[in-house]
Amino acid sequence: MTSAKKPLLAALGGEAVWPPPFWLMRQAGRYLPEYREVRAQAGDFIALCTAPKLAAEVTLQPLRRYGMDAAILFSDILMVPWAMGQGLRFAEGEGPRLDPVQDAKAIAGLKLGQVVEKSAPIMETVSRVAAGLKKDHPNTALIGFCGAPFTVACYMVDGKGGGEFPMTRRLAYGDPAAFGALIDTLAEASRLYLLEQVKAGAEALMIFDSWAGMLPPSQFRRWVIEPTARLVRALRRDLPPGFPLIGFPRLAGPLLTEYAETVGVQAVGMDTGMDPVWAAKHVPAEVALQGNLDPQALVAGGPALIEQAESIMAAMKGRPFIFNLGHGIVPPTPPEHVAALAERLKRG
Ligand code: 1CP
């Protein structure tokens, strides 16, 4: 029996849709010349995220080329700290820079009360994309998102990316009450921000925990699984039953099972290093899996790309699955390699 639902939503509802629905993390972005054009027009990155017409345009760009099954709102996980009043800038070629929030006083100064108002332009982007999909891509679903509390806290405390986040990890051990207050503030901000996206037309929500796997197991449970589970429970009080949520605890390793069993999401993301055969066996069958092609295989292209994609599909056949990358697409990706991948996926 085939479902009348959009393929992505059917997979999130637990159906083993085949050929698998697909989209790519960071699918709107720097590898596309048409993105670079709009980006230059907007000036800086925050200006682009808060210009609904331009942000909606770049959200839709990859669909016109490749017909993905999902559009993902063009914004950034760091727009939540920005909306709470934290200083944020994106330095060209350096990535994000934030005015660090490193003690109880700074954490208490975050302005939860302004999140909804400051994120209004982002919600207008969501509405515009929803209208664009209805008109031109009726089978494509709109994914809204936020960063998970832990990953957003990493940037807020350390003030920049880099992948180690020493200040954040030390704060979590040294002053767990202050760090816990930051995590709770972020969970509440994320709840408000995600519900606004659903009101504006998001059909699924993804919670990106890109740095979750940096933590040892006890800390992973305390700062990743528990706060995300609380966020999901709080969201569900206001969402329709079964509203599709996707969690992505990157680098979770075998803790992916506990995350999938505990957090209450319909799908979990597999990162590049996750063995899809293992995940198929150790993640409950009703939880959809999403992933996990190596973004560098997409840069390389050729037979290696197709073989990788086929081996992931072989492991996932017969269970609810969404094809994606194991992490974000990288700027040197040749657009024609994405076309070759899309072509292969559509054959199932
Ligand atoms: O110069 C530019 O054009 C800015 C580059 C860029 C882009 C295109 C940044 C800065 N963010 C984005 C968009 C973005 N970020 C999206 C939108 C849509 C899409 O996927 O197509 C999404 C979902 C994100 C999420 C995001 N931002 C994450 C989670 C996913 C992941 O990749 O791990 C993280 C960790 C960020 C932080 C961030 N924002 C931007 C950069 C360069 C970074 C990473 C910094 C670092 O290396 O730590």
- Mean pLDDT across the chain: 97
Quickly count: other Cβ atoms within 10 Å of residue 314's Cβ: 10
Strands 88-91 and 95-98: antiparallel
Mutate to test the pocket of ligand 1, among 76, 78, 90, 206 (most ligand atoms within 8 A of CB): 76
Q: Is the pLDDT of residue 213 over 50?
A: yes
CB 74 within 8 A of CB 58: yes
Token pair 């009348």 in the structure block, residue: 4
Whole-number Å distance, alpha carbon 43 to ligand 1 midpoint, is: 17
Section 146-168 average pLDDT: 97
Residue with CA closest to ligand 1 atom 18: 74
DSSP classification of residue 21: P
Cis peptide before 138 (omega within 30 of 0): no
Q: Is the pLDDT of residue 200 over 70?
A: yes
The response to whether residue 39 sits with its C-beta less than 6 Å from ligand 1 reads yes
* Dist CA 163 CA 183 (whole Å): 19
Give which of 244, 134, 264 is closest to 198, Cα–Cα.
Answer: 244
Section 275-303 average pLDDT: 98
Strand partners, 146: 207
Q: Is the pLDDT of residue 2 over 80?
A: no
Whole-number Å distance, alpha carbon 4 to ligand 1 midpoint, is: 33
Cα angle for residues 146, 151, 155 (degrees, 5° grid): 105
Residue with CA closest to ligand 1 atom 15: 76
* Dist CA 285 CA 36 (whole Å): 40
pLDDT at 184: 98
Structure tokens given for 142: 């709109």
pLDDT at 1: 42
Whole-number Å distance, alpha carbon 323 to ligand 1 midpoint, is: 20
Give which of 297, 303, 292, 290 is closest to 332, Cα–Cα.
Answer: 297
Mutate to test the pocket of ligand 1, among 26, 251, 325 (most ligand atoms within 8 A of CB): 26
Residue-wise pLDDT for 66-121, tens only, equals 999 999 999 999 999 999 999 999 988 889 999 999 999 999 999 999 999 999 99
User: Which residues are catalytically annotated?
Assistant: 26, 30, 39, 76, 155
The response to whether residue 95 sits with its C-beta less than 6 Å from ligand 1 reads yes
Token pair 């083993």 in the structure block, residue: 16
Residue with CA closest to ligand 1 atom 19: 26
Q: Is the pLDDT of residue 260 over 60?
A: yes
Strands 141-147 and 204-209: parallel
Structure tokens given for 145: 């998102």
Residue-wise pLDDT for 318-342, tens only, equals 999 999 999 999 999 999 999 999 9
Tell which atom from ligand 1 comes closest to the C-alpha of 39: 3
Tell which atom from ligand 1 comes closest to the C-alpha of 162: 48
Alpha-carbon torsion (255, 256, 259, 260), positive or negative: negative
Local structure of 69: helix, strand or coil: coil
* Dist CA 91 CA 45 (whole Å): 9
Give which of 198, 177, 69 is closest to 122, Cα–Cα.
Answer: 198
The response to whether residue 224 sits with its C-beta less than 6 Å from ligand 1 reads no
pLDDT tier for residue 3 given thresholds of 50, 70 and 90: low
Residue with CA closest to ligand 1 atom 4: 45
pLDDT at 4: 79
Residue-wise pLDDT for 19-66, tens only, equals 999 999 999 999 999 999 999 999 999 999 999 999 999 999 999 999
CB 173 within 8 A of CB 113: no
pLDDT at 93: 81
Mutate to test the pocket of ligand 1, among 77, 80, 94, 190 (most ligand atoms within 8 A of CB): 77
